[in-house]
Chain A
């Protein structure tokens, strides 16, 4: 299997606190990877290192065989890494369509009628076509989550990182977002999903990695992960 992302021995510290201590991850092209762990385990820190929100870490990150460790976030986006945020961050002064035109303009270099048509296709796929010209600060929580995924898709990613895209959603809404993620994966996009809703992670992921206290404590198929005593200890305590 071809590797799309390789995280080599990444260490990230905040002052005296070590958030990640020597994390190694390999992600394969087209894979659906689940990233789990209790609060404070380093999941978001790891994806911040991958997406380029943090560049002051030790170790190396390779994407499509190239070292991207020193690249800024926008350069990584141009290489094909897109993400959504744990707390949605819409461009609230813009409409939903305009939100999508930002990556079209800055990644693709164009935001004309053709791109608007493409944006509309993405929004239709997310069930947001009727909200295209609504101000993004008027959206509901689930619509915001979908819009973030749509905006990430407008950057034409090869790797999509979904950071708790289902947090705060109802069971029905979780299924909607899961369906969207499955559809995106079918388009050939590799997806890393960070999620606290275990049923969703287990349903979606082909492989799951569990982090605890900045270290990977185990990885494997969803079935093996749920039975792993290390994972149970991390979540439930001794």
Chain B
């Protein structure tokens, strides 16, 4: 109940911000930060809770984005339909990838997910309807609901998606599914012998995780008014989506949120003040530091600090 109130108040805060008279860049950068909250939260459902490291994040983002493009181009579908369509198809991709790869463990699963990125990128590169390798210019529709600009509307939409994703992750963590996924991460054999249908719950997690990545990717074409495969299938998304939960802490739903807010904000500041190229370096350096010095992330550090101050 408390969470619902906080979530609702946060959403109201985002709504208030998006109609306030502030610099437009805030919404442009805010969209990216909130998108990373969705991606990091989605990644953590399979990677953090179950310990299955998915490097195929760009594939799911791209399925969401290109589904949105196809729906917009073919039937002029509104943004909500694009997001739902992108989520459904990315969820189905998650299910299929899961069926093919979730019997693999450890590094083998991770490598298999990278392969999905390359396969789909090759398909899109050669698909002329969505612009192929050259990409596709898109004209934003005039529909703004009650927002002043399209960017402000997209910012609020991403805020809704972020709060929705975090709520789903929180629900999973506290449910049977979350308990089962944690058991899988700790010992898959023991989980199976404790009655946990390990393959089934991994498939559910992979589907939900994929669907959330898809919904994060779906508004991207409208955000950029453009889509092209090289940027959409960029493996930097994988590094960020995995780095943010690890830095924040993978054991709790709040970890990826902290990691994403912290890292994506630093990235945006670095982009504006130094260089866009330093983005990945920021994640890389912080990731190495945390893996070596604080493997349980910021949450782990807080826990240690609380224990030592008792």
Residues of A within 8 A of B (CB): 51-53, 72-74, 77-78, 82-83, 85, 89-94, 98, 101-103, 105-107, 111, 151-152, 154-155
Contact = CB atoms under 8 A, between A and B. Distances in A.
B51 to A, nearest CB: 10
B116 to A, nearest CB: 26
A154 B179 CA distance: 15
B179 A102 contact: yes
13 contacts: A53-B192, A53-B193, A73-B193, A74-B197, A77-B193, A77-B195, A82-B193, A94-B183, A102-B180, A105-B179, A111-B176, A151-B190, A152-B193
Interface of B: 176, 179-180, 182-183, 185-187, 189-199, 251
Nearest to B177: A105
User: SS class of chain B's interface: helix, strand, loop or mixed?
Assistant: helix
Nearest to B184: A91
Given A102-B179, A106-B180, A93 B251 contact: yes
Given A101-B179, A105-B176, A77 B189 contact: no
B186 A93 contact: yes
Given A91-B182, A94-B182, A85 B194 contact: no
A51 B198 CA distance: 15
B187 A90 contact: yes
A107 to B, nearest CB: 4
B194 to A, nearest CB: 4
A151 to B, nearest CB: 6
A91 B187 CA distance: 6
Contacts of B183: 91, 94, 102
B195 A78 contact: yes
A146 to B, nearest CB: 15
Given A93-B251, A105-B179, A111-B176, A74 B186 contact: no
